[in-house]
Amino acid sequence: MTQEDKKAFITFMVRSGVLTFGDFVTKSGRNTPYFINTGNYGTGAQAAKLGEFYAQCIHDQIGKVDVLFGPAYKGIPLATATAISLQNIYKQDVGYCFNRKEAKDHGEGGKLVGCKLKDDDRVIITEDVITAGTSVRETLPILQEQAKVKIAGLIVSVDRMEKGMHGKTAVQELYEDLGIRTYPLVTVKDVITCLHGVEIDGKVIIDDKMKERMENYRKQYCADA
């Protein structure tokens, strides 16, 4: 994505109430001054725009893909919206599927809903953020139980650039441990660069105090700081 594309996406997240600032706790238990919650997207227009950003990433950086997998629950609309945008914009018809959180003991059963995975399918995992990489490590066995698929990549809205289990960034560790490449639309560095001192709809989103909090967080938890 170009710098203008990144700025547009970050602004879109802020206006959608998805990228917020304050006091939060991540899934990995870290106290953080900013949070990304794609569960706050709530309109058809937002879903369509989000799908366009993800589809652009696939088209520009990955290319051929057979199936999009959206981990329940937040990954489900991501995979669905992206599949629609790939078809509408790039005429690339791909399958999509997602997992069940609860076991189903009636009907067709099974752990996945949507496209049936086949051996050698190139699968993209669609997620909201990557912090420690825990969610992807939990997702991989679910996919491998279904077929001998090839993970073509992980797409996330934001790479928080945080340390994984061994001191490197989670992105680096996923690639070194599992061979999975991560394609973030933006990084936390991009967020700070694009929003520091900048007004959106009359409000400065990241003032000097918030920037200091974010930089202090990065020094503590990010491998690149």
Please pick, among 91, 106, 203, 219, the residue that the annotation labels catalytic. 106
Report the candidate in 54, 58, 102 with the shortest Cα–Cα distance to residue 80: 54
User: How far is 165 from 168, CA to CA, in rounded Å?
Assistant: 8
Sign of torsion, CA 16 18 20 24? positive
Our answer to whether residue 7 is catalytic in this structure is no
Q: Supply the DSSP symbol for 61.
A: I
**How many residues are present in the chain?**
225
- Note the helical H segments in the chain: 3-15, 44-57, 75-90, 134-146, 170-178, 188-195, 208-221
Check: CB of residue 79 under 8 Å from CB of residue 54: no
Q: Is 163 a catalytic residue?
A: no
Q: Choosing from 27, 104, 118, 166, which is the catalytic residue?
A: 104
Q: Which residues are the active-site residues?
A: 104, 106
